[in-house]
Amino acid sequence: LEVFYSTGIRVSELCNLTLNDLDLKNGELRINQGKNKKDRIVPLGETACDFLNIYLREARPKLSSAGVSFLFVTKNGRRFNYTTLSFLMSRYGKKIGLSKTTSPHAIRHTCATHLLKGKADIRQIQEILGHASVATTQIYTRVEITDLKKVLKRCHPRERKEIETRDF
């Protein structure tokens, strides 16, 4: 779940990741044939790399059968799919504050929103998510009313007391 949340990749992209797509040394994931058959490189944060190192060292060897190259596999050694991810989210999501009804796709939206709140540029978020259009990225990013109030207070001249009512 950490890799999914911290990268904002699509469910299908997560499920199709192979060991060869992972570059922990450089903190990168290679997305091959993402939506619209586009390849891209997605940054991996330190936290995600730490989780992946533990997973690769401790969990994956117990799950994977010989010759399986998918990064994320089930207890039967098969690659993850949407159903697997949904099950894991409902089973373990409560521990990290997810509601039982949180969908995998909502995690992608959350990643985008948190990047925006952290002051990432919308174009950078577009690249991370792999969107062809920035308009699509704007749909993914929710702006909260508290943030809008802060912007109003910080940016509007009336709120900064730069102009008086009589100036109108």
| pLDDT of 159 higher than 70 | yes
Q: For residue 7, how far is the Cα from the chain centroid?
A: 4
**In terms of residue numbers, what domain contains 25?**
2-167
35 included as an active-site residue: yes
> What is the per-residue pLDDT for 93?
73
Read off the pTM: 0.77
**pLDDT by residue (tens digit) across 138-152?**
887 777 777 778 888
> What is the per-residue pLDDT for 41?
92
Give the CA-trace dihedral at 24, 26, 29, 30, to 10 degrees: -130
pLDDT bin (cut points 50, 70, 90) of residue 164 is low
Q: Give how many domains the chain has, as a whole number.
A: 1
108 included as an active-site residue: yes
CATH classification of the domain holding 123: 1.10.443.10
| Lowest mean pLDDT, pick from 9-13, 78-82, 92-96, 136-140 | 92-96
> What is the per-residue pLDDT for 165?
56
**pLDDT by residue (tens digit) across 58-77?**
999 888 777 789 999 988 88
Which of the residues 94, 105, 153, 160 is marked catalytic? 105
* Share above pLDDT 90 across residues of the chain, in percent, rounded to a whole number: 29
123 included as an active-site residue: no
Cβ atoms 132, 99 nearer than 8 A: no
| pLDDT of 131 higher than 80 | yes
| pLDDT of 156 higher than 80 | yes
Which of the residues 35, 38, 150, 156 is marked catalytic? 35
Quote the Cα angle for 74-80-83, to 5°. Answer: 105
| pLDDT of 168 higher than 70 | no
> What is the per-residue pLDDT for 163?
61
Distance CA 51, CA 49 (A): 5
55 included as an active-site residue: no
Q: What is the mean pLDDT of the chain?
A: 84
